[in-house]
Structure 1
Amino acid sequence: MKNLKRWMIGSGLFGMLIFLSGCVKTDSTGTPTGEGIIYNLLVKPMSHLITFFAENWGLGFGWSIILLTMIVRLIILPLGLNQMKKSMIQQEKMAAIKPHMDVINEKMKTATTPEDKMAAQQELQQFYKDNDINIMGGIGCLPLLIQMPIFTALFFAAKVTPGISESIFFGINLGKPSLVLVALAGISYFLQSYISMIGMSDEQKKQMRMMTYMSPLMIIFFSFKAPAGVTLYWVIGGIFSCIQSLITNLYHKPKVKREIAEHFEKNPVKIVKPTVKNTTVKQNAPKNNLNNRNAGRNQGKQNKK
């Protein structure tokens, strides 16, 4: 069940990346061609805003990228917090019902016939349903679909806005890769991964370990070749992710734990009682029928006498 859940989530994210890659059409060098839904609706307006902040407000392109990233992140922050809260609620529910789930999972492992495996699977599904457990862990597609195009647009706006490639920010050329910003981006996302696991059980940390290292390493890998203006966007995004994780773990998590504990105190975990087929009646049925027939014949003979 866990492997199925991971496969579904991974497939969904991969599918969204493929979808979004077609929203901003690029040439062989990775430069947008000016076509695509996301480019015209989001990238161009964001690019104009960066230029406006840099030239009209006199902030320069470095501070303009930071300001725009902060504005966008603040706008979608409630959506991200709500998504993480829903996911946390389902995680706490799963932790509460784990002892009962282990019993059903053991039945599935020890099942020797297809009928037994199917019965255990149906019992698990009914157990989820009776206790209001979402197999997807509260991860909805809508929040991700809303956020991904915005992040994609920010990425390209920081990459293609005229003037960024010639701009200097604290001695860093925003048009060329910067090892300093690469290090800051990696540190910010490693820190975010660490903060997100505060309060998790050892088993949950073990399951999340791969994602803990995967996301920061991917950011570092792409930052080595990306212009410093793009890496600066990732640095600010990582810092905001840390803030979001801190709010979730220090405020939402204790509150959710109390709510889930009160919920199961008022509504104890519902155990599915597997239906056991009574084969004794079926096995004895032919004998009973035979006895009834013999009794009927003997009765007939006595009546003739």
Structure 2
Amino acid sequence: MAIIVLAGCVQTKNGVPTGEGWVYNFLVAPMGQLITFFAKDQGFGYGTGIILTTLIVRAIIFPLGLYQAWKASYQAVRREHLKPVLDPIQERLKNAKDQQEQLLIQQEMMAVQKENGVSMFGGMGCLPLLIQMPFFTAIFYAARYTPGVTEATFLGMDLGKPSLILTAVVGILYFIQSYISMQAVDPMQREQMKTMMYVSPLMIVVMSFTSPAGVTLYWLVGGIIQIIQQLIVNYLVRPYHKRIVAEEFEKNPPKARPATTSTYKKDVTPASMNQAIMPNNIKKSNKKRNAGKQRSR
């Protein structure tokens, strides 16, 4: 999936960049030149060139990733403080009798979240990710198609062929990153998302197993950066947000709304009882009509 997304940002033919398009001209080509600069002009070799270039690119977009994580952490902490209000609503949603009742409860939940400053989308937004994506795309293609990379070696590994050692290291790194990120999730949600802790590293392992070691080297550096970012969120950002949100909710306690579903009651009266509970004026009018019919006969 990641490769498909990446491929959509660069014009390719048979999987190879055509050299056209703004992403290639403004990002892929300069990054390829930077790799070559470190590899040939500075004599570091292509493996070190990929590592240094990836570090520079990651350093440029690191603030965006951290900002996105900051917003997500703040919203997650607010949602945790709102659990006493949201949990009863969610319980009623699970026990809803029909679709109309579910819709009313969902509207009630959305209103409670809005009134208490909680975003349904986690407060992250798509803009930071959209800005980062061309950079991820560029370094991916630069690590794979820069001239000289496929013929080079790094620590005895052929950068033009898959490396089992690098694949194993990358799998371990992304598992650690997934595990650390799960620690910042609510225990109940953590149990529900447990599968993702294994799926993400497995996908990286599969892609690394079928990709040249030069690309896997790029993923390795990216995995280390993600672990550092997640540690910052877990041990610096999240504790700060817990303190700030606790103060905010102490000044303005969570607002609960009256249950909107209390006014919605589905008519489940059997048809046979309708006549028994019919108002007297309707019954009298029915008797008069019946009496008229009998006289006409």
The two structures share one fold, judged by TM-score above 0.5: yes
2:13 counterpart letter in structure 1: D
Determine which of 189, 203, 215 is the counterpart of 1:218: 203
Superposition pairs for residues 243-282 of structure 1, below 5 Å?
A: 243-274=228-259
TM-superposed CA distance for 1:134, in Å, is 0.2
Give yes or no for the alignment of 1:36 onto 2:21. Answer: yes
1:127 counterpart letter in structure 2: V
Superposition pairs for residues 6-21 of structure 1, below 5 Å?
A: 20-21=6-7
Q: Counterparts of 1:95 and 1:213 in 2: how far apart (Å)? A: 25
Unaligned runs of 5+ in 2: 266-278, 281-297
Paired residue secondary structure (1:221): helix
TM-score (norm 1): 0.81
2:108 counterpart letter in structure 1: E
Aligned CA distance change for structure 1 residues 20 and 37 (closer, same or farther; 3 Å): farther
Equivalence for 1:151: 136
Give yes or no for the alignment of 1:96 onto 2:91. Answer: no
2:129 counterpart letter in structure 1: L
Unaligned runs of 5+ in 1: 1-13, 280-285, 288-305
TM-superposed CA distance for 1:277, in Å, is 5.3
TM-score (norm 2): 0.83
Does the CA contact (< 8 Å) of 2:80 and 2:186 recur in 1? no
Does the CA contact (< 8 Å) of 2:50 and 2:214 recur in 1? yes
Equivalence for 1:185: 170
Q: Counterparts of 2:106 and 2:71 in 1: how far apart (Å)? A: 25
1:256 counterpart letter in structure 2: H
Q: Counterparts of 2:100 and 2:107 in 1: how far apart (Å)? A: 11
How many residues align? The count is 267
Determine which of 132, 146, 149 is the counterpart of 2:117: 132
Query: Bigger CA drift: 117-126 or 127-136?
Result: 117-126
Q: CA RMSD for the aligned pairs? A: 2.3
Give yes or no for the alignment of 1:84 onto 2:77. Answer: no
Does the CA contact (< 8 Å) of 1:22 and 1:36 recur in 2? no
Q: Counterparts of 1:247 and 1:278 in 2: how far apart (Å)? A: 47
1:134 counterpart letter in structure 2: S
More helix by share: 1
Q: Counterparts of 1:235 and 1:85 in 2: how far apart (Å)? A: 24
Equivalence for 1:67: 52
TM-superposed CA distance for 1:37, in Å, is 2.9
Q: Counterparts of 2:192 and 2:264 in 1: how far apart (Å)? A: 41
Aligned CA distance change for structure 1 residues 42 and 63 (closer, same or farther; 3 Å): same
Equivalence for 2:293: none
Aligned CA distance change for structure 1 residues 57 and 114 (closer, same or farther; 3 Å): closer
Determine which of 107, 115, 120 is the counterpart of 1:122: 107
1:49 counterpart letter in structure 2: L
Q: Counterparts of 2:56 and 2:237 in 1: how far apart (Å)? A: 23
Equivalence for 1:53: 38
Does the CA contact (< 8 Å) of 1:155 and 1:233 recur in 2? yes
Equivalence for 2:191: 206
TM-superposed CA distance for 1:149, in Å, is 1.3
Query: Bigger CA drift: 203-212 or 237-246?
Result: 203-212
Equivalence for 1:25: 11
Paired residue secondary structure (1:85): helix
Q: Counterparts of 2:4 and 2:175 in 1: how far apart (Å)? A: 26
TM-superposed CA distance for 1:32, in Å, is 1.2
Q: Report Cα offsets for 1:147-166 as digits up to 9, x if no partner.
A: 11111110100000001111
TM-superposed CA distance for 1:17, in Å, is 7.5
2:165 counterpart letter in structure 1: V
Does the CA contact (< 8 Å) of 2:61 and 2:132 recur in 1? yes
Q: Counterparts of 1:192 and 1:42 in 2: how far apart (Å)? A: 27
Does the CA contact (< 8 Å) of 1:23 and 1:37 recur in 2? no
Q: Share of identical aligned residues, percent? A: 52
Does the CA contact (< 8 Å) of 2:71 and 2:124 recur in 1? yes
Q: Report Cα offsets for 1:50-109 as digits up to 9, x if no partner.
A: 111111111111111000111111111111111111101111111111222121122223
Aligned CA distance change for structure 1 residues 72 and 91 (closer, same or farther; 3 Å): same
Query: Bigger CA drift: 73-82 or 18-27?
Result: 18-27
Aligned CA distance change for structure 1 residues 61 and 158 (closer, same or farther; 3 Å): same
